[in-house]
Structures are given as C-alpha cells and as structure tokens.
Structure 1
C-alpha cells in the first residue's frame, strides 16, 4: 500500500496548493471590492478544504503540534476534532452552494426567486449557524480520542499511527450516529433536490434559446456555466460521500482497524477537496485571465 500512500500525499499536496491559490484569490476580491455571495461561499469552502487536508491523520498539522512538544494526547484530540469539524462544514457549505445557485438561476416570479435580494445577509447567518453547530457537536470527540496505548482492541480502535478512538456508551453512540446520519441525509437530499431543479431550469432555458436566436443565451451563459460546474461538483461530492460513509460505518460497527482500508478511505475522502479547486480554477474566467497574464509576463 506504500504506492497508494504516495498517491495520497501527492493528492493532498495538490489539493492544498490549489485551495491556497483560490483562498488568496477570493480573499483579495472580498477585501478589494464588493464581493458576490458566490465569492463568500467559495472562500469559505476553500478554507475548510485546506484545514480538512492538513488535519488528516499524521499530516502537517499533527507534525506542527508534535514539534511544539504538546504531547500525543493533545495532538490527537486537536487534529481529530478539527478534522471532524471541517468535514461537517464541507457538506454544509457545499449544500449552501447548491441552494444559492438554485436561487440565482430561478425566475424572479418563482418561490426561490423571492430570496434573491436577501441572499447575502442570509449567507452570513448560515455561516454562523454552520460553524456553531459543528464546533459544538464535534466537541464530544475530545473525550473519546487519545494517543494510542497498548491495550486490548475491545477498549480502543486505532484510527491513525498514533491515535485511537475509545468505545462510547451504547446510547450515546446511537444518539450521535442518528444526529450525524439525519444531518447528512437531509443535506444530501437538499443537494439532490436543488440539482434536479437546476437541471430542469437549464433544460427550459435551452429550449427557450432555440426560439430567441441566442440573444438571451448570451446573457445567461455565465450563469449556465456556473450552474453546470456546481452540478458537476455536487454529483462528485455525493458519490464520494456515500463511498466514505459506507467505509466509515463498516469500520465503526465492526470495531476493526485496517491500515489499507484507512488509506483507501483517505484517498476517497480527499478526492473532493482536491478536485473542487481545480474545477473552479478551470471554470472561473477571472482566475483564467490572471493565469494568462502571469504566463504572458513570464514569457
């Protein structure tokens, strides 16, 4: 599995670099002019994905904490907590992205169209709610994660080379699983619903363009491209999410740690935060123009 681990590290490095580039790009837009709601959401998503990748297992964040001599327990609790918070934020912000785009392309006379003027303030409230919920809900992990010690596997499950997860009370575990599954099923359901809605809107718009000789088509093409990009990301996210969920549930219920399975799970889980910035870079004209200018200056 060493070759797959090498692929994972290359994937993680590519994901961090691409997300860092987008983070600086969106931050400069937000600080330099009136930001669009899409820029706020994309900036938030890139930050979440950077922290997701850096906090996974024995990655950079773990090495930094270890170099500070904070102890293995603190390192494990901190990295595991941050990672779970960011995974929760990833699905929340991705869902918000799908809802926002559905509102953006909706006709003004439709139900969603009525929210167009209120989107920006609602997004700030949504960010506050998402962060508050995930920070507080994931805090339970502080009590069940610790540095790996040599005891029976019935008491702990090794989740990285140096960290382990301890058994929870049956009622607490079932309650936590119910909340997590309910949250994720609801958010994935919203994504699928908005995706279907956007496909219908695009299909109707394409039909109308055939009768209007392309006049409206030219005006709506940026929105159409943005919608197609988001639809691609949503489909990819949902597929990766369910594969990750199946692996996680299987490992948790069987209470078995398999390093090979864990490596495959990492590869699947971080495919989305790696692919997302690459798709955004290739589809955003502002980013493409910046890259072209840099290329022309270098030559």
Structure 2
C-alpha cells in the first residue's frame, strides 16, 4: 500500500513540474507572439492537468484549505468539484486538440479544409462553451459530496480520506451516469475518428514521398511530428480513460470503494497528465531549442 502511494506521489510531482514548465512556455508564446490555435489549446491543457493533480484527494489544494481553517465539508466540496470539472475539461480539450490538428493537416481538397480559417476566429468561443458546460455539469457534485463522517452509520461511499459521496436516488444516479457516459463516449468517438483520419493522411503523405524521393532523404516535417505526437496522446488517453471508466463504474454501481482500488485508479487517471507534457516537451522543436539555449547559457 505505502509503495503504491509513493509511486503516486512521484508521478504527481513529476506531472506538476512538467506541466508547470509547459504552462510558462506556452504563456510566454501567447504573451509575446501571435499564438497558433494549437498553442492556446496546449496552454489550457497544461493548466487543466496541473489543477487535476493538485486537487486529487488530500493533495496540495486540500492541505491549503485546511491550513486556512476551512471546514472539512467545504474543503471536500471544493476539491472534488474542481477535480471533476478539470477531468471533464481534460477529455474535451484533448478531443479539441485532435480535431484542430486533423483540420490543420487536411488537404486543400478535403471537406475539413474550409474550417482552417474558422478555427482561428472561433477557437475562443469553443473554449467558452466547453468551460461553461463542464462548470455547470460539475455543479451537481456539490449536492452529492460531503466531508467524510462514518460509512457504517450514513452509508456514505468514501472516495478519499476525508471525502465521501452521499447516497442518491437510483434514477438520479442513472441519469448522471448516462449523461457523463454519453458525453465521454461521444468525445472518445470523435478522437478515434480524427485519429484514424490523421493516420490515413500520414500514410498517403508517406506514399507520395516514397514516389518522389528516396527513403534515405525523407525528413519528418514539423506538422508530421506534431501529428504523430497528438496521435500518441489520443491513443494513450483512450486506453487510460477506459481503464479509469471501468474502475469508476464498477465502484459506483456496487457503492464500494476499496483503498487499494482508489490508489490504482489514481495511478491510471494521472498517467495521462504526467505523460502528456513529457511527450510535448520531447517533440516540440521550439521547446528543445529553448532548453538547449538555457543549457548553453548556464554551462
């Protein structure tokens, strides 16, 4: 048990540090230059992942609220609400990342090509809609989560050391689960569709290059590298999402949360926000160039 917790803490620490680095990097681009839609999306995704990690269970934000003498109930509602909103935004923004990249690399003759200019002008409206939906949808949790008291007396389902879900009507539970699953299945479906589309585009591009040049002279363009990175992120997200989904649904329907299961779920859930920034850092030429300059400056 303690070894699993230590692994989670190392994972969380690495995730926060990597995402903080990316957040400052993309923020500097947005402030000092004309950012691309992908920079705006990546910046939001890194912020969301930081908030996801620091609001999980009895982590950083919970400790801050406790030090400020907030009651256990307020601490629980705040951290649980923010965490679930961020989890919803994570899947939404990842889906948006996949869609925008598919539009970006689409040939001029394709159906998606006409949306290239619209992406730049409408991206902020999309952000507003996604944030508004998730903030409103997540507000239901305020009524069904509370500070943990005693499971045997209240039939609460303990989800962290100091937080639990209160019993809810089967109809309400079924409705909430149906809406959440419908949203997630739709978004995962969109990600898989755009991912397949990008694979087809890359395959066609590879075949054309083989006809025009020898394989030894083939060089991956920045767009191709970015597409491959996003494909890896989408595939990894989908796998981690379904593992987390299976654990969550099984536990919710049975109304039982085992401590070991909770730790395993955390490891699965936060593998994505930890791996994502590492993949982005190693694949973005601008970041690699910045790191090389910093290294040469200090060494």
Matching of residues 41-190 of structure 1 within 5 Å: 41-152=41-152, 155-190=155-190
Separation of aligned partners in 2, 1:214 and 1:189: 37
Cα offsets for 1:232-252 (capped at 9, x unmatched):
010000000000000001110
Separation of aligned partners in 1, 2:3 and 2:280: 28
Distance 1:220 1:36, change over 3 A: farther
Aligned residue in 1 for 2:21? 21
Cα offsets for 1:200-251 (capped at 9, x unmatched):
0000000111122279x97971111000000001000000000000000111
Separation of aligned partners in 2, 1:2 and 1:263: 10
The offset of 1:154, in angstroms, is: 6.2
Aligned residue in 1 for 2:37? 37
Separation of aligned partners in 1, 2:165 and 2:274: 27
Q: CA RMSD in A?
A: 1.5
Aligned residue in 2 for 1:296? 296
Separation of aligned partners in 1, 2:22 and 2:112: 29
Size of the aligned set, in residue pairs, is 298
Structure 1-normalised TM-score? Answer: 0.97
Separation of aligned partners in 1, 2:171 and 2:258: 26
Distance 1:200 1:61, change over 3 A: same
Cα offsets for 1:129-176 (capped at 9, x unmatched):
110000001101001111111242662100000111011111111111
Cα offsets for 1:158-201 (capped at 9, x unmatched):
00001110111111111111100000000000000001000000
Aligned residue in 1 for 2:264? 264
Structure 2-normalised TM-score? Answer: 0.97
Distance 1:199 1:94, change over 3 A: same
Is the 2:156–2:167 contact (alpha carbons within 8 Å) kept by the matching residues of 1?
Answer: yes
Separation of aligned partners in 1, 2:185 and 2:257: 26
Separation of aligned partners in 2, 1:209 and 1:187: 33
Matching of residues 189-208 of structure 1 within 5 Å: 189-208=189-208
Separation of aligned partners in 1, 2:205 and 2:277: 27
Aligned residue in 2 for 1:247? 247
Worse-matched range after superposition: 93-102 or 289-298: 289-298
The offset of 1:122, in angstroms, is: 2.3
Is the 2:191–2:234 contact (alpha carbons within 8 Å) kept by the matching residues of 1?
Answer: yes
Secondary structure of the structure 2 residue equivalent to 1:146 = strand
Runs of at least 5 residues in structure 2 that lack an aligned partner in the other structure: none
The offset of 1:121, in angstroms, is: 2.2
Runs of at least 5 residues in structure 1 that lack an aligned partner in the other structure: none
Consecutive aligned runs of 4 or more in structure 1 exceeding 4 Å deviation: 217-220
